[in-house]
Amino acid sequence: MVIITGAAGFIGSCLISKLNNKGMKDMVLADDFSPASKKNNYSHKVFREMVDRRELFSWLEKHPREVEFFLHIGARTDTTELNRSIFDELNLNYSKAVWNHCTENGIPLIYASSAATYGDGKLGYDDHDPQLSFLLKPLNPYGESKNEFDKWALQQSRTPPVWYGLKFFNVYGPNEYHKGRMASVVFHAYNQITDNGLQMADHPSSVIRPPSSVRLFRSHNPAYKDGEQLRDFIYVKDVCDVIWFLMNHRKNSGIYNLGSGRARTFLDLANAVFASLNKNPRIDFIDTPEDIREKYQYFTQANMKKLQAIGYDRPFRSLEAGIEEYVQGYLLPGLYF
């Protein structure tokens, strides 16, 4: 049996499909299943049962020897949330309880960390030295909560039999309809172009824009031209492929980056969305709001050599290929993975 937390969410629900496609059906889904906006993420998939995340540990006490793997993907991911107590409860303390249960019961664990732990990137994006986690300075409480758990995990003398903390970079793909302003830039750009929304692509807000155009932030850094700010975008199916690999690898525990390993510009992304819709690009730039300028990241790129060194050799989709599949296979027909 496999436990998946955050199972009603974006990455978690995609993992259910990945495991179903591999013939796995004995899964227990843990999450807050009350939002109706998430129901289509899991309603047509095959699994054993659903457990409210608040009841998960009570449920686990009744099934101590049945769990074979634990995928802890659930978290509060709102980077604009400033209430640290929420992150302490959901991202830090809940994760410690998951870790301790896996340790006490000999269960392999994969948990979701984040590239937000790297902060402004001045110390690089390298996952080889575990001690780097103790030097990082994330830019928001979300990133801090993820880094605090990474540091806590690295300090534990008692651990699950094998464990992986995955620093997700900018993940995009199907099953993120419910995420609102926290959905990917690809999702927001698609909605702008198809006139389904009035939000900015690279930082959603209630800004009115011309129809069928994408608005991106103007650069306020002389080293970067407008729209040439860089991010490491990774397609969610590639994320699932890596997790499947690690579920079978079961050695070389530690914290790993999970990005494509290649930084691309927001202009590249916007142009790829236009191309997937067979439309000519129309891109407008506005100033980055002053309240976020100092915390704005101009570059992220995962060093992926550590994962490759333990045997992962599957290529990641290009930004253009991932966006084309996402837009044409899921967004246009309104389908789920």
Q: Is the pLDDT of residue 336 over 50?
A: yes
Q: Is the pLDDT of residue 140 over 50?
A: yes
97 and 143 assigned to the same domain:
yes
125 and 257 assigned to the same domain:
yes
Is residue 195 domain-resident? yes
The CATH number of residue 167's host domain is 3.40.50.720
For residues 5 and 72, give the distance between their C-alpha atoms in angstroms, rounded to a whole number: 5
Q: Is the pLDDT of residue 83 over 80?
A: no
pLDDT in tens, 171-196: 999 999 999 988 999 999 999 999 85
164 and 208 assigned to the same domain:
no
Is residue 131 domain-resident? yes
Asked if 94 is an active-site residue, the reply is no
Asked if 164 is an active-site residue, the reply is no
155 and 225 assigned to the same domain:
no
Catalytic: which of 42, 118, 142, 190? 142
12 and 137 assigned to the same domain:
yes
Is the distance from CB of 235 to CB of 316 less than 8 angstroms? yes
Catalytic: which of 179, 235, 326, 330? 179
87 versus 321: which is more confidently predicted? 321
Q: DSSP characters for 176-211? A: -GGGGGGS-HHHHHHHHHTTS----SSS-------T
For residues 325 and 332, give the distance between their C-alpha atoms in angstroms, rounded to a whole number: 10
143 and 200 assigned to the same domain:
no
Burial 46-69 (b: 16+ CB within 10 A, else e): ebeeebebeebeeebeeeeeebeb
Q: Is the pLDDT of residue 208 over 70?
A: no
pLDDT band at 206 (very low <50, low <70, confident <90, very high): very low
59 and 160 assigned to the same domain:
yes
Maximum separation of any 2 CA atoms in the chain, in Å = 59
Is residue 337 domain-resident? no
142 and 216 assigned to the same domain:
no
What's the structural domain count of the chain? 2
HSE-CB of 98 using CA atoms within 13 angstroms: 32
5 CB-contact burial (10 Å; exposed 0-12 / middle 13-18 / buried 19+): buried
Q: Which domain holds residue 225?
A: 179-230+264-299+326-331
Instruction: Using a pLDDT cut of 70, give the percent of the chain over it.
Output: 94
